């Protein structure tokens, strides 16, 4: 029996830019959950080839996810100056290109119209009205992340079909879009029931859910489904480096930081977050902060160091264990089945 997302199990594998590709999406959707393809770091040709691979491998519903920030022209010279000491230390002289990170646009929207994913989810609010109208016309269910009750009300008022309540524990970027102040952010156990009470829509709980107990807790708080990110990074289908995998297994501390991209996100504490963050007023607007970090990150990684790497992780990482995406999806679903 299909739920409000059109799938059998109330488990959404979180879209995780840079770490999730078609293999994970196929595995989760085939298992009965909702596999989610993150498109934020993909160019349009790659979005197309990933969607072709997915549609060829499964007939089950999928979610396709986009960032919808408003790119701003900003001066990043203060940030580059702040990082100059690392360039000197590592002997880096060359700049590096920045991976795509263009927000949802007309061309991406045309791919949605062509491939008709059953669910389309957004991070950082919603795209402009004309694009959202086109997405809705495809029949896709529209979902976005709220990190506060105000954001949940905004998303409900602007036509979302369900709300992801993204608690403070969550790994990766905060979906926050009405404020950029980390002090406004709320833990999952308080956020989920507050959003359930505030909006007349199904709520998908996210943040710190990595085992059966978390799933049961989310449902006890009124959630209709869960969106799980960090736990899926432990699956063999996750496209993460051995360095990242090792860091995740270490029970490391995490922190909300803007030093990697310019937007608050939860990552494992490392040299860059300690020495320049966790929140730096010098970090330029998303995604530009990443550009200056990229060359020192690459040089350090080549030497086996994650001093400058954005190791996105939620607070519940150590509750996860290595298993296939299919097994994880089914195990989490059994908690409430």
Ligand X SMILES: Cc1cc2nc3c(=O)[nH]c(=O)nc-3n(C[C@H](O)[C@H](O)[C@H](O)COP(=O)(O)O)c2cc1C
Binding site for ligand X (CB under 6 A): 14-17, 19, 38, 40, 65, 123, 145, 166, 169-173, 206-209, 227-230, 312-314, 316
The residue among 14 and 34 lying less far from ligand X, judged by its C-beta, is: 14
Give the shortest CB-176-to-ligand X separation in angstroms.
11
Q: Which of 289, 290, 265 is nearest to 278 (CA)?
A: 265
The residue among 16 and 31 lying less far from ligand X, judged by its C-beta, is: 16
CB-CB contact of 257 with 264 (8 Å): yes
254-257 β-sheet, strand order: 172-173, 265-268, 254-257
3-state secondary structure of 203: strand
Give the shortest CB-80-to-ligand X separation in angstroms.
25
Residue number of the CB atom closest to ligand X: 229
Alpha-carbon dihedral of residues 244, 245, 248, 252, nearest 10 degrees? -60
> Terminal CA-to-CA distance of the chain, rounded, Å?
12
Q: Which residues lie closer than 8 Å to 271 by C-beta, 6 or more apart?
A: 307, 308
The residue among 86 and 312 lying less far from ligand X, judged by its C-beta, is: 312
The residue among 38 and 277 lying less far from ligand X, judged by its C-beta, is: 38
Give the shortest CB-69-to-ligand X separation in angstroms.
11
The residue among 92 and 326 lying less far from ligand X, judged by its C-beta, is: 326
The residue among 102 and 145 lying less far from ligand X, judged by its C-beta, is: 145
Give the shortest CB-78-to-ligand X separation in angstroms.
27
The residue among 84 and 220 lying less far from ligand X, judged by its C-beta, is: 220
Give the shortest CB-204-to-ligand X separation in angstroms.
9
Give the shortest CB-164-to-ligand X separation in angstroms.
7
Residue 157: burial class (beta carbons within 10 Å; 0-12, 13-18, 19+)? exposed
Give the shortest CB-93-to-ligand X separation in angstroms.
30
b/e map of 236-247 (b: 16 or more CB within 10 Å)?
Answer: ebbebeeebeeb
Q: Which residues lie closer than 8 Å to 114 by C-beta, 6 or more apart?
A: none
Specify the DSSP element, H or E, that contains 195.
helix 188-198
């Amino acid at each position: 029996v299909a739920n409000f997302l059109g799938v059998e199990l109330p488990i959404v594998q979180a879209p995780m830019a840079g770490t999730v590709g078609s293999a994970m999406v196929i595995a989760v959707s085939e298992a009965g959950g909702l596999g989610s393809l993150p498109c934020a770091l993909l160019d349009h040709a790659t979005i197309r080839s990933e969607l072709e691979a997915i549609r060829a491998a499964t007939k089950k519903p999928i979610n396709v996810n986009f960032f919808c920030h408003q790119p701003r022209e900003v001066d990043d010279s203060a940030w580059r100056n702040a990082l100059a000491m690392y360039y000197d230390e590592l002997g880096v002289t060359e700049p590096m290109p920045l991976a795509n990170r263009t927000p949802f646009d007309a061309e991406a929207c045309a791919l949605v119209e062509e491939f008709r994913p059953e669910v389309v989810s957004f991070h950082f609010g919603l795209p402009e009205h004309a694009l959202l109208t086109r997405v809705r016309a495809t029949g896709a269910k529209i979902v976005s992340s709220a990190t506060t009750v105000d954001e949940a009300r905004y998303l409900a008022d602007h036509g979302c079909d369900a709300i992801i309540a993204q608690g403070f524990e969550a790994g990766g970027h905060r979906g926050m879009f009405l404020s950029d102040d980390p002090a406004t952010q709320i833990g999952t156990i308080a956020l989920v029931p507050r959003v359930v009470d505030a909006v007349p829509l199904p709520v998908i709980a996210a943040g710190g859910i990595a085992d059966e107990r978390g799933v049961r807790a989310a449902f006890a708080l009124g959630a209709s489904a869960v969106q799980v990110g960090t736990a899926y990074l432990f699956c063999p289908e996750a496209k993460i480096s051995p360095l990242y995998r090792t860091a995740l297994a270490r029970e490391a501390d995490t922190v909300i930081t803007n030093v990697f991209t310019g937007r608050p996100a939860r990552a494992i504490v490392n040299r860059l977050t300690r020495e320049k963050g966790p929140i730096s007023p010098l970090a330029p607007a998303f995604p530009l902060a990443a550009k200056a970090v990229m060359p020192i990150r690459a040089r350090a990684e080549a030497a086996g160091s994650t001093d400058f790497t954005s190791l996105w992780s939620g607070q519940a990482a150590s509750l996860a264990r290595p298993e296939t995406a299919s097994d994880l999806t089914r195990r989490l679903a059994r908690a409430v089945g």
